[in-house]
């Protein structure tokens, strides 16, 4: 009797959450599959001809993958992920180890390194944009009024200025800015997790290494890294997932008032478009079938990468 | 270095010599240890200097954008646009901040919208999360584990996959350009339910049974015992949820891009900050960025512990 009553009660408690989840999580999963595999699906067509007027097939996937813009998006996403994840992980590891071996001003340093996390990635993207951008003169022929703080620093050290984000900038220069910004943005979380891991490492291992006269470098590779490997695996996996969903950092740097979703310098708004950017374009263009197909491809990539990462870490990670 | 000390260990042949030798070796040993510890000390100082140098440089890199944002916001447009950038403003001009509030950007309205959405969605989300976590932590019912596992599995799916259908759904509900559309679809976070459930499970069952014997109702027990004990987790959830509203961009831009409902980040990125002559007024832009950034910093300084605790378990930004 009592148990039955409890069963009924539990569902009452869960009801609000389940209703919202059913509409905004479960239904979208089913509907995305349906839309992706309905040839030439758009919502407008469904309203006009009914839900059963589409034939089952892979046409959306074909149209998405054969579209050149999509290949660019996929390439950009891969490039940014492959560059930023290793750089930010290595830097975060170094900072975390350094933070763990100092005493004086450690708390302050920890706070400083966490600051980029509690910022708005669009807002700070605009600051990075301002730091790298060159402000042209009144007429196109006039010299630049200001070449931006970063170029000024470069010239102060005897380098030559680079057009980082202006309309005449090269892909490589854009990439450098994006990587710097994304790494800057990704550091705090990774440092936090790795430092947390370091602080829970048993000090005895280090004492043993000290007695044996092991060098610092060897201690780092043979003790710190293996003991920290679960945390390293964790930040790499979450880094990859975040990397494949890169969008707002790029909008922060390149977005402008005419099109808040510009994904490249003025004149080439598609240059740094990503998978997520592509999906949003398709939503706005009402191509729901294509958007769904692209979203499923994104999910498949994330799923595959996560599985590979887990498989590798199972072999390499020491628990 | 350890070898060095071993070599000096002398085995005395004659007993008389022994004491002398012993004393000698002791002196030598001490000398060596002195040498070794001196070397170690130098090494230690060198390493520590290196560490501080590295951390210092990294800290400067991390802080520089914030510094640049702050000083740019108080420069005059002329000084900002000068050929040689100044690292400290020659004269402070605060009017950029006034422009951010009074100009086209209408920061006041954006603040109001963001606060309404942030507060309402946080409160509703807390209620829903607490109730579900309580059900998962305290009750036994058929299919509980399957349901919980299924919920956790949805966390792997990228949010964009939901957005496509949700956009169609909210349009057909007639919710476009309302506060509702900014609040309801994200009311339930599986991650928060999971976080709170773990916390609830740590509360010993004996408390529940004792409360039952006393005739306390389930809801009263939840309110009087569970919630106070799980307060730190609830604070973490509150702050992360508020920060999420403050930083959300993609969904609000898609569904509520009108002035009456626009959120702060959408407004910020959509504004041109041009002066009369069509030049971009960077100081004004930076002032707006400062205004958007400072509240987050303040929240962080006051609730550092809770934010870090929540974040280290999630990996989700905003």
Number of H helices, E strands in chain A: 15, 0
> Rounded distance, CA A140 to CA A271, Å?
23
Interface test with A, best of B55, B111, B140, B222 (most A CBs within 10 A): B55
Contacts of A241 (CB under 8 A, 6+ apart): A302, A305, A306, B158, B315
Residue B196's nearest CA partner among B133, B135, B151 is B133
pLDDT recorded at residue A80: 96
Using the Cβ of B229 and the Cβ atoms of chain A, whether some distance falls under 8 Å is answered with: no
Q: Are the C-beta atoms of residues A93 and B31 closer than 8 Å to each other? A: no
pLDDT recorded at residue A4: 57
User: Tens digit of pLDDT for each residue in A235-285?
Assistant: 998 899 899 999 989 988 987 656 556 888 888 888 999 999 999 989 988
Q: Which residue of B has its CA nearest to A13?
A: B131
> Rounded distance, CA A197 to CA B313, Å?
12
Using the Cβ of B263 and the Cβ atoms of chain A, whether some distance falls under 8 Å is answered with: no
Using the Cβ of B304 and the Cβ atoms of chain A, whether some distance falls under 8 Å is answered with: yes
> Rounded distance, CA B285 to CA B264, Å?
13
Interface contact flag, B280 A102, Cβ < 8 Å = no
Residue with tokens 């979450």: A238
Q: Are the C-beta atoms of residues A36 and A293 closer than 8 Å to each other? A: yes
> Rounded distance, CA A5 to CA A299, Å?
40
Better-predicted residue by pLDDT, A83 or B240:
A83
> Rounded distance, CA B293 to CA A124, Å?
8
Using the Cβ of B143 and the Cβ atoms of chain A, whether some distance falls under 8 Å is answered with: no
Residue with tokens 């002196």: B27
Q: How far is A13 from chain B (nearest CA, A)?
A: 5
Using the Cβ of B218 and the Cβ atoms of chain A, whether some distance falls under 8 Å is answered with: yes
Task: Write out the H or E segment, with its range, that includes residue B3.
Answer: helix B2-7
Dihedral sign for Cα B238, B240, B245, B250, please: negative
Q: Nearest Cβ partner of A123 from B193, B289, B311?
A: B289
Q: B231-247 vs B282-314: helix axis angle to the nearest 10? A: 140
- The tokens for B81 are 């646009």
Residues 118-137 of B with CB under 8 A from A: 127-129, 131-132, 134-136
| Mean predicted confidence (pLDDT) in B190-210 | 89
| Mean predicted confidence (pLDDT) in A287-291 | 92
Q: Which of A175-189, A191-205, A270-284, B32-46 has the highest mean pLDDT?
A: A175-189
ipTM for the complex?
A: 0.89
Residue A14's nearest CA partner among B26, B277, B129 is B129
| Mean predicted confidence (pLDDT) in A308-314 | 83
| Mean predicted confidence (pLDDT) in B282-310 | 86
The SS3 call for residue B103 is coil
Question: What distance lies between CA A132 and its chain's CA centroid?
Answer: 21
pLDDT recorded at residue B10: 43
User: Tens digit of pLDDT for each residue in B121-166?
Assistant: 999 999 999 999 999 998 888 889 999 999 988 888 888 899 999 9
Q: Nearest Cβ partner of A257 from B47, B271, B311?
A: B271
Contacts of B160 in chain A (CB under 8 A): 245, 276, 279-280, 295, 298
Q: How far is A269 from chain B (nearest CA, A)?
A: 15
Statement: residue B49 has pLDDT above 80 = yes
pLDDT recorded at residue A214: 81
Contacts of B158 (CB under 8 A, 6+ apart): A241, A244, A245, A276, A295, A298, A299, A302
Q: How far is A170 from chain B (nearest CA, A)?
A: 22
Per-residue confidence at A28, pLDDT binned at 50, 70, 90? very high
Residue with tokens 């710190």: A224
Statement: residue A316 has pLDDT above 80 = no
B14 phi and psi angles, rounded to 5 deg: -105, 140
Per-residue confidence at A96, pLDDT binned at 50, 70, 90? very high
> Rounded distance, CA A194 to CA A228, Å?
7
pLDDT recorded at residue A32: 94
Interface contact flag, B62 A187, Cβ < 8 Å = yes
User: Tens digit of pLDDT for each residue in A105-157?
Assistant: 888 999 999 999 888 888 999 999 999 998 887 777 777 888 889 999 999 99
- The tokens for B236 are 């973490």
The residue count for chain B: 318
Distances from the Cα of B301 to the Cα of A114, A118, B166, B317, angstroms: 11, 10, 36, 18
Residues 85-124 of B with CB under 8 A from A: 85
Residue A149's nearest CA partner among B138, B263, B72 is B72
pLDDT recorded at residue B315: 47
pLDDT recorded at residue A313: 79
């Amino acid at each position: 009797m009592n148990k039955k009553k409890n069963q009924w009660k539990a569902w009452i408690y869960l009801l609000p959450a389940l209703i919202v989840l059913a509409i905004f999580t479960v239904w979208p999963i089913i509907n995305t599959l349906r839309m992706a595999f309905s040839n030439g699906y758009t919502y407008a067509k469904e309203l006009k001809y009914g839900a059963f007027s589409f034939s089952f097939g892979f046409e959306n996937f074909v149209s998405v993958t054969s579209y050149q813009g999509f290949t660019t998006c996929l390439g950009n996403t891969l490039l940014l992920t492959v560059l930023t994840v290793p750089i930010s992980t290595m830097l975060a590891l170094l900072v975390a180890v350094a933070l763990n071996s100092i005493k004086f001003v450690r708390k302050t340093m920890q706070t400083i390194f966490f600051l980029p996390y509690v910022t708005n990635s669009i807002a700070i993207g605009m600051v990075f944009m301002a730091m790298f951008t060159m402000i042209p003169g009144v007429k196109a022929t006039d010299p630049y009024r200001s070449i931006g703080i970063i170029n000024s620093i470069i010239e102060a050290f005897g380098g030559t200025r680079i057009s980082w984000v202006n309309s005449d900038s090269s892909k490589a220069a854009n990439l450098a800015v994006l990587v710097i910004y994304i790494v800057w943005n990704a550091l705090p979380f990774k440092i936090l997790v790795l430092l947390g891991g370091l602080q829970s490492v048993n000090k005895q291992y280090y004492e043993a290494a000290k007695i044996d006269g092991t060098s610092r470098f060897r201690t780092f590779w043979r003790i710190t890294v293996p003991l920290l490997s679960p945390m390293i695996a964790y930040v790499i996996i979450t880094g990859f997932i975040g990397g494949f969903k890169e969008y707002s950092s790029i909008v922060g740097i390149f977005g402008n008032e005419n099109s808040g979703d510009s994904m490249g310098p003025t004149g080439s708004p598609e240059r740094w478009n990503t998978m997520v950017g592509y999906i949003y374009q398709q939503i706005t263009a009402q191509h729901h079938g294509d958007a769904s197909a692209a979203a499923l491809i994104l999910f498949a990539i994330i799923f595959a990468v996560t599985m590979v990462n887990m498989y590798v870490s199972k072999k390499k990670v020491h628990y | 270095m350890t070898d060095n000390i071993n070599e000096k260990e002398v085995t005395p042949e004659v007993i008389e010599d022994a004491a002398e030798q012993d004393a000698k070796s002791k002196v030598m040993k001490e000398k060596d240890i002195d040498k070794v510890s001196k070397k170690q000390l130098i090494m230690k100082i060198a390493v520590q200097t290196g560490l501080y140098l590295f951390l210092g440089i990294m800290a400067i890199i991390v802080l520089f954008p914030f510094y640049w944002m702050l000083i740019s916001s108080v420069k005059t447009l002329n000084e900002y646009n000068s050929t040689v950038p100044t690292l400290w403003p020659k004269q402070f001009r605060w009017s950029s901040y006034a422009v951010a509030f009074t100009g086209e950007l209408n920061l006041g309205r954006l603040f109001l919208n963001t606060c309404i959405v942030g507060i309402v969605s946080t409160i509703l989300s807390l209620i829903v999360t607490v109730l579900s976590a309580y059900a998962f932590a305290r009750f036994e019912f058929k299919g509980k584990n399957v349901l919980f596992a299924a919920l956790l599995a949805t966390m792997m799916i990228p949010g964009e996959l939901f957005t496509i259908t949700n956009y169609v759904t909210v349009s057909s509900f007639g919710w476009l350009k309302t506060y509702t559309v900014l609040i309801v679809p994200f009311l339930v976070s599986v991650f928060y339910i999971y976080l709170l459930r773990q916390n609830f499970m740590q509360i010993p069952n004996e408390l529940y049974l004792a409360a039952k014997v006393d005739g306390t109702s389930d809801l009263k027990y939840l309110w009087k015992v569970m919630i106070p004990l799980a307060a730190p987790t609830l604070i973490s959830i509150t702050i992360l949820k508020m920060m999420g509203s403050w930083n959300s961009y993609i969904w609000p831009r898609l569904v509520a891009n009108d002035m009456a409902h626009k959120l702060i980040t959408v407004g910020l990125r959509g504004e041109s900050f041009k002066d009369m002559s069509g030049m971009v007024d960077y100081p004004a832009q930076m002032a707006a960025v400062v205004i958007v950034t400072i509240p987050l910093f303040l929240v962080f300084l006051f609730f550092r512990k809770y934010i870090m605790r929540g974040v280290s378990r999630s990996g989700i930004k905003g």
